[in-house]
Structures are given as structure tokens and as C-alpha cells.
Structure 1
Amino acid sequence: MVVEDEPDLASLVTSYLERDGFDVTTVGDGMRAVDRARDVDPDVMVLDLGLPGLDGVEVCRRVREFSDAYVVILTARSDEVDTLIGLSVGADDYMTKPFSPRELSARIQARIRRPRGGLGGPAARTAPRELRTLGDLTIDVAAREVTVADEPVHLTRTEFDVLAVLSADPGVVVTRSALIDAVWRTGWKGADHLVDVHVGHLRRKLGDDASNPRYVVTVRGVGYRMGDGR
């Protein structure tokens, strides 16, 4: 789904994505985008921040209540605060206008055609069930399900991928750049704050306290590692 109120830009992005094999639905305002997202259940949403009706941040917030679509925010504002606000409500990536539609399509393809966090695809579906347990936290890798004290925790795709990478080898520190390579892709160019925002969102959903974390521990100046859950 392409959510963009500039017809020429929406048409350009749509043509690139359709050329690369995607079925594309185009919407020009925020309120209709939320309704259409419920109907079509998109795998990917390309979402402009400056929309009539509802802005992109609010659209993302509402869509995240029912969808784990891969969300790429488009913004004409280079101010980092706008970017981080968008990511804090569950966006996965961002591009600043003017941008290359070819690069946008390449980013989307790199993200959805590779195993998410190295854990998806047919091999994962046929592999033995892997449960990772850290205190009250249980991660079912194959099913992409997370519980805390037997209560389900609803994560976005990116939040789950971050957790899966960190929990693959508990106690080992994963640098921010290594997380970006594993979860986004090698060669991704963007702010390291992307990782911090998603980790903050993940902690909130797990009920983790950043000042005394049980699950996701910050190693200052380096990255993150999993705690023992106690």
C-alpha cells in the first residue's frame, strides 16, 4: 500500500513497485489509509508523513493496532525528531524526500525476500520447534510468538526480529551495527537511533525497566545483550 497525497509521486512509486512484481493499492489521505489497510491487510506500507486528514504518524499508530506490515515512512522533513517520532509508533524504516524510487523498491525487496531476522522461510517451518526461555520470557522462534508469564506479547515484525537476534546467543553483546545488518540489511544507511527506538518499544511491551532490565540490557557505547530474565 502506497499512502501519498502527491499524485505524481504516488504514481511514480507505484510504477516502480508494480514493475518489480508487487500488487499495489494507492491511497491519498490518512483516514482512508487506515480503513483500506484493514481491508487489504498489506505486507508493506509506504507512508508519507505529511498527509491530509490524519498525518503519517497517527496513521502508523492506528495501523499498528491491527497490522504488522513493514512500514516505510517518507518525509520531506529532515529533522531527526520527526523521524524518531515515526519510528516510535512502529515504523520500520524511513526515507527523506527527494529519494530514489529504485532505492525504495530495493529496500522493500531486501527486507521481505530474505528470512526475517534469519529465522523465516521454509527451512524455519520444517525445523524442530525452538523455544527460548529467559525467566518469565518465552520466545517461540518458528511460530514468531512471545509470552511473558504465559501472557502473549504482540510485537511488530521488526521488534520480534530484534528480540530473535539478541536471544539467539544470550549474554553475548550485539552491537548496533550488527543488529542493523541482521534485522534491516547489510549496507543500510541510516541513524543508529533506529535500533534504540525499537529496543525502547520492545522493552515497553515486555514490561522491562531500562534502569534495571531483566531481558534487554544496554551495554553502553557498544549495543545490547539479553539478560537472564530475573
Structure 2
Amino acid sequence: MQSILLVEDDLSISEMVISYLSKEGFTIVHARDGEEALRLFSEQKYALVLLDLMLPYLNGMDFLKIIREQSRVPVLIISAKDGEVDKALGLGFGADDYIAKPFSLIELTARVKSAIRRATEYSDSGSSSSPRSNIITVQDMTMDIDNIRLSKKGREIHLTAKEWSILKLLFTYPKKIFTKEQIYRSVWGDEYYGDENIINVHMSRLREKIEDNPSSPQYIKTVWGIGYKLGDFQ
């Protein structure tokens, strides 16, 4: 059974989430504050962390920054703070997804399973012992699919699992325009609930990492009213 660390100080929400996810086959370890969460995180490995932002003693954002220094475990933020600033801040610090309170337990479960599945695929694809590398080159950027490495002008660029999957999708189909729904279905492996801010934040972070000038992107182009595509390179 896969273990999930639930970091949530609201007991009514915690009991509801624990009951539902336990029936889905997960083992839930519950922390009511950030300091307890750090202790529990150090004691065992987890398939995913469900993290509230407003916590006693150590807030969720500080907890996230600390664990990101040592782990790539998928983190799904659950919080009543639904502003775009909080979303951008949370995802910018390394969260994989965001769901606002109140939320549907069905939607929460779908996002949990999707995040774990994507993290597993990301890890497995990087563990191949094959000496052959599947390489995609676009301008001065090189994507090594088999070894999960991205470099630009010889400099390695570190991406999160979601950022890698988005860029791989665009690199694999360089002429195709993808709607936000298509990107979400492909990368998150889940139904699209219309929360385009999640995709917008990931795109913004990805552009900051790969573009010379993120405000005038050349690799990831916005097709207004439709979605995104890879830049046109001769």
C-alpha cells in the first residue's frame, strides 16, 4: 500500500480525507502542524504529500521549501487560500498541483492518483540502463529522453516532473498547437476541471528556466485563445 503524508490541522477535513483515501487503498499518515510533518517525513518514504498552507508552528510553504531540498516527492497543496499569488508561490516552490477548499473527494483522489502515476513514470524512465539515448534537439536545447536530462548550450537545466512532461510533449509534436485541456489530460493524466491557473504557472516557471528572455519566449509560444505550441525554428 502506498503511503501519503497528510499535513492538515483541520480535524474534520483530515478525518474525511483519511477515510476516503484509505478506502482507495492508501495508507495515510497524519500531521497536524509543520514541525510534526517534518519529523514524520524524515521517518519514512511517501508516495505523495497532501499539504495545507496555513499550519501551526511551521507553515506549509516553509515545510515545502525544506523537503524540496532533499526530495522530489509529489506535493499536492490543499488550501482555502485560493489567490493566484498563493498558487504561483506554492507551485514555484515545487508543488506539483493545487486544489482549493472546499474540494470534491472524487477530484482530490483523481489528482492524487495522477500525481503519483506521473512521478512513478518519471522515476522509472530515468532508471534505464540502456546505453542508447533518445535525443531531441531544438535550436541550442537538447532533450535526452532516456536519461531525463535537458541542456541548453551545454548547461544542464533542472526541471520538475511536470515541467519535463510539458516540454517533452511540445518537443515531440513541434508543429502541433495544444489546448490547455489537451496539455492537462496528457501531462496530469486526468480530467480537466478548467483551472487554467495551474497550467499558466507551470508554463511561466518553465519559460523562466529555458528562455533567454521569458517575457519574449522563443521556445514556448502562446497561441492566443487556443493554447501553446513549440516556437517555429528554421
Matched, 1:175 2:186: no
Percent identical? 33
Instruction: With the length of structure 2 as denominator, give the TM-score of the two structures.
Output: 0.80
Conservation of the 8 A alpha-carbon contact between 1:76 and 1:96: yes
Counterpart of 1:147, as a letter, is S
In structure 1, C-alpha distance between the alignment counterparts of 2:202 and 2:189, rounded to whole Å? 15
Q: Check 1:212–1:34 CA distance in 2 against 1; reply closer, same or farther (3 A cut).
A: same
CA shift in 2, pair 1:2/1:135, >3 Å? same
CA contact (8 A) 1:3 1:33 kept: yes
Partner amino acid for 2:158?
A: H
Distance 1:187 1:125, change over 3 A: same
Counterpart selection for 2:73 from 60, 69, 72: 69
Deviation at 1:175, TM superposition (A): 1.9
User: TM-score of the superposition, structure 1-length normalised?
Assistant: 0.81
Q: Larger deviation: 173-182 or 136-145?
A: 136-145
The CA deviation string for residues 10-44 of structure 1, in whole angstroms up to 9 with x for no partner, is 23323333332223332222244345435534331
CA-based RMSD of the aligned residues comes to: 3.1
Alpha-carbon distance in 2 for matches of 1:14, 1:92: 20
Change (3 A) 1:196 1:218: same
Unaligned runs of 5+ in 2: none
Deviation (angstroms), 1:74: 0.9
On the 8 A contact 2:211/2:217 being kept in 1, the answer is no
- List runs of 5+ in structure 1 lacking aligned partners: none
- Residue number in structure 1 paired with 2:156: 152
1:173-205 Cα deviation digits (max 9, x unpaired): 222221111112342214212111101111222
Contact 1:84 1:197 in 2 (8 A): yes
Structure 1 pair 49–159 and aligned structure 2 pair: CA distance change class (3 A): same
When residues 229 and 92 of structure 1 are mapped into structure 2, their CA distance, relative to the original with a 3 A threshold, is farther
